[in-house]
Every structure is written in structure tokens, then in C-alpha cells.
Amino acid sequence: MHRFFVSEEQIRDDLVIIKGNDYNHIVNSLRLNPGDKLIVCPGNCRDYVATIEEIKENQITGKIIKEYKNRNEPSLNITLAQALPKKRKMDLVIQKATEIGVRSIIPLKTTRTIVRLNKKKERKKTDRWQKIAKEAAKQSGRGRIPTVERVYSLKELTQFKSNFDLIIIPWEEEQGKNLKNVLSTVNVSEISKILVIIGPEGGFPPEEIKFIEQLGGIPITLGPRILRTETAGLVVLTMLLYESGDLGG
């Protein structure tokens, strides 16, 4: 069945009302008709199966016939703080991180970040990235849409320090600790919130690594090969969710 995210306000008295872009997609692209079924999710990890009852000019009314818990959300709450990469690489990061299971994404400005956005462009980009996250969440059957935050500077991450049980920072200069070493020192089952900080194309200079360590961040190596900025975060997400048992670990 086709799947759509809706707001909680769109569900009332066992009915769901669908308008806007989703209406156009259902009517003009999918060409669904009264009697056809679809799944709607208000982003609260509850899924609803609805039968289309009526299609008006700008509105679809569906009758909810089943409700159940969405079980596709990982137990780990992982935030990815991704330094802004060049071109449209951020689009790819957000799409794939959402598919893998990230909870939220913080676009990040660092010393070596090449991309610089004014406030107008930042708002436009953030809106676009949030739409990408929504589409990826829909495609992958997520029970919620990851939040794409505004662009933060590295120093602004200080305000998030107390939100996380573990802060990880892959760094090409780190030779000792890898993710397995770090996880062996903690009880993964007792960790619920993790922040992963990924540097830009030029990497983090030592002074920024020191700043992140002062926040409680732990530098790790991802092995002998240098990964691109758009690859590193996805690798760490996958490793963390595998270790937690979410990806078959």
C-alpha cells in the first residue's frame, strides 16, 4: 500500500483528510479511487490503514479501518551533526541517513567549511532538506520524520552537550580508538542518545577536535582509508545501529 505522512489534525473520528501535494499525488499520479487503501502516519510511530471514501476537487476523505504501532524506528536516538559539504552532497546525506535510521540532523559550520549561506539561503536550504527527509522517511517506512535543524556553528553545539549519552567524532588523525573500542567500554543497552559529529571536506583542525573533546566527544578512527564527508556519517550510523541490533547485529 502507498504510504503518506499527515498531521495529527488531519485525523479525526476515524477519518483522515488529505489535501495539497499528497492529494495531487494520489489522484493524478497514483490514480487511486474510492475503495482503494493507503497507509497514513502522523509521525508518532502509529500507522493507520484507511480506505478512500470520497474524492472531491481538493480533498480526499479516508475511513480508518486499522491502527497499529510502527516498528521500523530504531531504539537508538542518533543525531548527525554534518559539516556542510559542497554542491548537493547534503541532499544525499539527509536522504540516506533517514533511510538508515537517524533521528535528527544538524547542518554544521566549521572553520574549514567551504559552503557559506546567508539567512535567506539557509532557510531555503533547510526547508528543502526537511522535504528530502520526509520523502526518505515515507519511502523507508519510518514511523517519524527526522528533524533537520537550522545551521549551527561548531561552538553552538555546546547547548546540546547535556542531551547526549555519547558523542562520537570520526577523525582521520586518530590512530588508537575505533568505534568497537569505544562501545566496549559502555553498555550499549543503556545508551539512548548519541551525537555523531562529521567534519567537512578539509577535515577538523586539532583545535576543533580539542573543543569537541571538551564537550565530551570521543575521536575515533574509521580505518585506514580516508572516507569522504558524505560517506563517513552514514558508515558510523550503520555501525551503531548494527551494534544495537537494529540492522541484524
Co-location of 104 and 41 in the same domain: no
pLDDT confidence tier of residue 176, bands split at 50, 70 and 90: confident
Co-location of 132 and 234 in the same domain: yes
Number of domains observed in the structure of the chain: 2
Which residue has cell 532538506? 129
CATH number of the domain within which 119 lies: 3.40.1280.10
Q: Is residue 108 part of a domain?
A: yes
Q: Which of 133, 243, 248, 146 is nearest to 188 (CA)?
A: 243
Co-location of 43 and 142 in the same domain: no
Q: Is residue 220 part of a domain?
A: yes
d(CA 53, CA 109): 48
> Of 29, 44, 69, at which residue does a domain stop?
69
> H/E/C letters for each residue in 144-195?
CCCEECCCEECHHHHHHHHHCCEEEEECCCCCCCEHHHHHHCCCHHHCCEEE
> Of 69, 97, 128, at which residue does a domain stop?
69
Q: Tell me what pLDDT residue 231 has.
A: 97
The whole-number average pLDDT for the span 133-150 is: 97
Which domain range does residue 49 map to?
2-69
Co-location of 152 and 227 in the same domain: yes
Co-location of 22 and 130 in the same domain: no
Co-location of 116 and 65 in the same domain: no
Asked whether the beta carbons of 171 and 221 are under 8 A apart, the reply is yes
Residue 249, pLDDT above cutoff 70: no
d(CA 125, CA 47): 29
Each residue of 204-240: pLDDT tens digit? 999 999 999 999 999 999 999 999 999 999 999 999 9
Angle at 8 between CA 4 and CA 10, to 5 degrees: 70
